[in-house]
Chain A
Amino acid sequence: EPEVTQTPSHQVTQMGQEVILRCVPISNHLYFYWYRQILGQKVEFLVSFYNNEISEKSEIFDDQFSVERPDGSNFTLKIRSTKLEDSAMYFCATGLAADTQYFGPGTRLTVL
């Protein structure tokens, strides 16, 4: 059964550094999302991406964040100048249609 994959599984970085989180969507999926989940808290929407552009973003998704599909397959989330409060699990989700989303296993980001 096809699944969403994410790399790395765990990323440790120093405050102020840039990180790139990578996601490989399920083949032929058209809708892409990033979420984050701070330990013990709820899953929070960051951004949705469709037809090669951002379709919606939350108030969390400020200028520090960006997304792209650099090669038409991978879907990346870049966080510039990381802060301590960016430490969280980051989940990629993809869907063939807008009504279903399949989540990857997540990347745990630790900012020191």
Chain B
Amino acid sequence: QKEVEQDPGPLSVPEGAIVSLNCTYSNSAFQYFMWYRQYSRKGPELLMYTYSSGNKEDGRFTAQVDKSSKYISLFIRDSQPSDSATYLCAMRRNTGGFKTIFGAGTRLFVKA
């Protein structure tokens, strides 16, 4: 079983839709959970990070962590064509040397 699983998509939605992106993980030691956006041939851009369980909101983005289910989500409200990118989940333990494990990324297309 992979440590972090993420559906690669692609996911195609119309402009204005609510987008739901998800990851599951197997390592119960993960405590920090991040979402990155990556445009083609660019470096990942940090969108959200959450420590332990709960929700966090920033503008049109909401991150949710359910540690009991080992499941994290990113919701994008009022999606825009400029949101078209690959979304990467990432996570790491609270201890150790900060090794971060990334999901494979979900490609999102928002159609105008």
Contact = CB atoms under 8 A, between A and B. Distances in A.
A45 B101 contact: yes
Contacts of A104: 43
Contact of A106 (B34, B43, B88, B90): B43
B98 A33 contact: yes
B45 A33 contact: no
A43 B46 contact: no
Interface of A: 4, 31, 33, 35, 41-45, 48, 50, 54-58, 89, 91, 93, 98-106, 108
Interface string B89-110: 0100000111111111100000
Given A35-B102, A99-B51, A105-B42, 16 more contacts: A33-B98, A42-B103, A43-B90, A48-B98, A48-B99, A50-B98, A55-B98, A58-B99, A93-B43, A99-B32, A100-B34, A103-B36, A103-B43, A103-B45, A103-B46, A104-B43
Interface residues of B, number: 23
Contacts of A42: 88, 102-105
Interface string B11-45: 00000000000000000000010101000011111
